[in-house]
Structure 1
């Protein structure tokens, strides 16, 4: 199961790079309109922070320190820097995920969410679906602003 998750995370982070790189006008990454309150750039920062915090820091003991509010407040980060940070997140996952033991996968995750404790295995699947949810939002945002 872990091998499949490694492949899926890598596949979807590569898709994230493709989406971010596909913005024809770099400043469009930061556009918000009407009821759309999160730009693609901020969603990208949020995904990077989320994965580095929950997988890198909590499961891989990296020294990553998350600033979740900044993920939604920062603006106008160059596209190249976003892509560099996605690549760094891919590399972190390639180092951390293969070293998670079956015992650690079975343990309850360190943070309670959605009303109950769940295993680390469950939480890794949850984080992958979270990545895909926001990846879809970014794809939709890109197609709206590039139209």
Structure 2
């Protein structure tokens, strides 16, 4: 990997792990019932979102960049209404993220600019990685919002960091 690719790869890996940590904080607050509760008929539960994130990361990184067979059943991610507890959902997501990180970390530089098919699209490796990081961040925000809504609680996701401090 070239020295110019390293900051992008490092930042991507950072945000993949960062979002998974925030999801863990939410799951620690939510009950099993709340994980599978849908706010309305047109919304997904946290459980659906975790299945969806796992499927998306597998399809885009493991298949798109890593060459693993695409066995995704996207509709099942949204139709599920339980049957997997939050510990197992989190385990599956973290295992998938860790597999994706291994692929990203070891990706040859030329794969960042090579176009390849993924889902119904054709994109280069940089786009694929950026899509996955952005997609995970988007749904992590939804999970955080849902947790705060249900629990009416500050999740202290930044710990004791003074976010009003300027450098």
| Alignment TM-score, normalising by the size of structure 1 | 0.86
Q: Which residue of 2 aligns with 1:44?
A: 50
Q: Which residue of 2 aligns with 1:2?
A: 9
Q: Which runs of 5+ in 1 are unaligned?
A: none
Give the Cα–Cα distance (whole angstroms) in 1 for the partners of residues 46 and 63 of structure 2. Answer: 24
Q: Map of 1:1-147 to 2, 5 A cutoff?
A: 1-23=8-30, 25-34=31-40, 37-63=43-69, 65-76=71-82, 77-111=84-118, 113=121, 117-147=122-152
CA RMSD of aligned residues (A): 1.9
**Structure in which a larger fraction of residues adopt helix:** 1
Q: Which runs of 5+ in 2 are unaligned?
A: 1-7, 153-167
Pair member with larger Rg:
2
Q: Which runs of 4+ in 1 moved over 3 A?
A: none
Shift of 1:14: 2.0
Aligned length: 143
Give the Cα–Cα distance (whole angstroms) in 2 for the partners of residues 122 and 54 of structure 1. Answer: 10
> Is the 1:109–1:123 Cα contact (8 Å) retained in structure 2?
no
Q: Which moved more, 1:73-82 or 1:13-22?
A: 13-22
